[in-house]
Amino acid sequence: MQRIIPTLLASTLLASPALANDLREAALDMFKPLPSTVPAVADNPITPAKIELGKMLYFDPRLSASGVFSCYSCHNLATGGDDNLETSIGHGWQKGPRNAPTVLNSVLNEAQFWDGRAADLAEQAKGPIQAGVEMANTPANVVATLNSMPGYVAAFDSAFDGGDAVSFDNMAKAIEAFEATLLTPAPFDAWLNGNDAALSEVELAGLELFMDKGCASCHSGVNVGGHGYYPFGLIEKPGSDVLPEGDKGRFAVTETADDEYVFRASPLRNIAETAPYFHSGKVWDLKVAVQIMAESQLGEELTDGEADQIVAFLGALSGPVPAVSVPALPAETGTTPRPTAEILPQ
Amino acid sequence: MQRIIPTLLASTLLASPALANDLREAALDMFKPLPSTVPAVADNPITPAKIELGKMLYFDPRLSASGVFSCYSCHNLATGGDDNLETSIGHGWQKGPRNAPTVLNSVLNEAQFWDGRAADLAEQAKGPIQAGVEMANTPANVVATLNSMPGYVAAFDSAFDGGDAVSFDNMAKAIEAFEATLLTPAPFDAWLNGNDAALSEVELAGLELFMDKGCASCHSGVNVGGHGYYPFGLIEKPGSDVLPEGDKGRFAVTETADDEYVFRASPLRNIAETAPYFHSGKVWDLKVAVQIMAESQLGEELTDGEADQIVAFLGALSGPVPAVSVPALPAETGTTPRPTAEILPQ
């Protein structure tokens, strides 16, 4: 692990412009500030009409079989883009298998879900809508629902060219377009962009430790994670309270023994707002999560002060959610499929 | 029932300014346009700080025991201020006993709930939070939750004078303050205010029928209903599919035999966006609901055309929801009570 600046000096000397610039240069080798514009997305040109439609869909509980859950339910923009539950509660009060990741900045993740099984947000969006323990719906029922409301048909027609604009694929693309707008520039971005005053001394010390101890080996890039897959317990496997044996992570995707208990390194933006932590959602305290990571992934026993500094740095990864006004959704019509709370066998 | 203008003439002659003014004058005897400012509320001065806090609380699922449901869940501002379900689904996937009424303009109702058992919105707000089939929380747990987050404590301190600002009562008052802002001026208001072009001919014909047939005897005032209690089935009791025998309405509040199957006359603003209808939520089609009302309450068999006209008028009671941006809620802390999905015996 490279040592950027001798740790003992860091906390007193980072105020010095020269050393701050050294740290910034090293940081810019590992991280990238958020872009100031909505990122381009493969095969999905992002337009205002598509964003607006995507916002409607994101907020619409009628995408679920029961009429109870929308994307927003588990990826709540008021609470850090997730639901603050160990694992989400969905159709029939069933619990999902893994903690809901934040939607914020997720467009910049290399792949989606804890095991990276969806290549992009459009593919991701189709998952929970169909999962029996989440929204429990079917593509055919979603399309029938959307087609039953002239307001939706018009919104699809204006967002997508060509006939048959209302489709499950286009629904997913519109949701992806809206989600791509959910970037949250944070103090860390301002600092990366050259504003020395954006991070406090303790946050800078935490950043330095974060790079120095090796956290940034996995949690790097624009989302400080969100790319690359690593075994949870690289050095020391955490207990089954944190790493339940039944969930073998990416193994389920690749069926390769090497991928047992392998998960995508979490993106860490807004991590301070998105407790509880890990795919199991079993740890509520960010400091404890940092300590578990240091031990299990790096074989490092952090001092209390070190853990506090890293937590302070992680706090500087939180930025405000863009203003999102609640959309006005079209009313059901006589042909809209009725909601059902029934739990059907999968 | 007073006959305002001979019905046969109405549809052709309402374009005449003189007759339109006659109809307006008659209408202003029965209805009132929405105010242009937030209404004053008894014992709860409405301030910007209180509105802002109330919005946070309204959107916060951590007011529920499970962390799944907020006020917004069943009174969704994207779908007419209700949840478009027969009866709401709450804690443990339990079904509530009655259809969720819209929050929009509800501050102007004389009393709250289908049986009027809450005098105002502050009292109302405390109901679902504690109901075992809804949010299943306790006042003590809500207060502990709010007190655990410095962002909430500061917001309560700035919204309420004096010590102990964080309380279940003040929570309810703040929610009431936010809800009081949710007024939706509609074409009908513009017309009442003197804009002849605001209602179409068929809407005007529907309005005239609405008054002429007697609908306005119960559905009057600023919310076109929302005050006064009437037996459902005044003339002819509807079938138990629409009026289930187990729910005796206001009887449960007053324990007076006369109040069996008595309900508050529904406020009809935004009714076109808030299917399904009646306290049972058993009727999805507004035209069918109008026909059932005419038969059961007035002993009137409406022609198909008459029902269509009344439905057109009811559509003119829909107005846009004020722009509401999703609030940024404080993150949990180490002392925030954890959510529980468990179903406790009541």
- The whole-number pLDDT of residue B1 equals 41
Asked if the Cβ–Cβ distance from A84 to B66 is below 8 Å, we say no
**Is residue B73 helix, strand or coil?**
helix
Question: Residues 6 or more apart from A141 whose CB is under 8 A from it?
Answer: A65, A337
Token readout for B230 is: 């009437």
Amino acid at B293: M
B110 close to A (CB below 8 A) = no
pLDDT surpassing 50 at residue A257: yes
Token readout for B264 is: 């508050």
Q: Using alpha carbons, select from B243, B245, B228 the residue that is nearest to residue B295.
A: B243
Amino acid at A333: T
Percentage of chain B exceeding pLDDT 70 = 95
pLDDT surpassing 80 at residue A320: yes
Q: Per-residue pLDDT tens for A300-314?
A: 999 999 999 999 999
Asked if the Cβ–Cβ distance from A68 to B61 is below 8 Å, we say no
Kindly tell me the burial class for residue B49, based on how many C-beta atoms sit within 10 Å of its own C-beta (0-12, 13-18, 19 or more): middle
CA distance to B171, B210, B285, B314, B315, per residue, from B308 (Å): 43, 11, 12, 10, 11
B132 close to A (CB below 8 A) = no
Is ipTM beyond 0.85?
yes
Q: Please indicate, yes or no, whether the overall pTM of this predicted structure exceeds 0.95.
A: no
Q: Per-residue pLDDT tens for B228-242?
A: 999 898 888 898 889
Count Cβ atoms below 10 Å from residue A335 Cβ, excluding itself: 10
Asked if the Cβ–Cβ distance from A89 to B66 is below 8 Å, we say yes
Residues B254-270: what's their mean pLDDT?
Answer: 93
Measured CA to CA, the distance from residue A307 to residue B9 in angstroms comes to 81
CA B160 to chain A, closest CA, distance in angstroms equals 23
Nearest to A327 among B78, B273, B334 (CB): B78
Residues B335-346: what's their mean pLDDT?
Answer: 89
Asked if the Cβ–Cβ distance from B80 to A272 is below 8 Å, we say no
pLDDT surpassing 50 at residue A3: no
Residues A255-261: what's their mean pLDDT?
Answer: 90
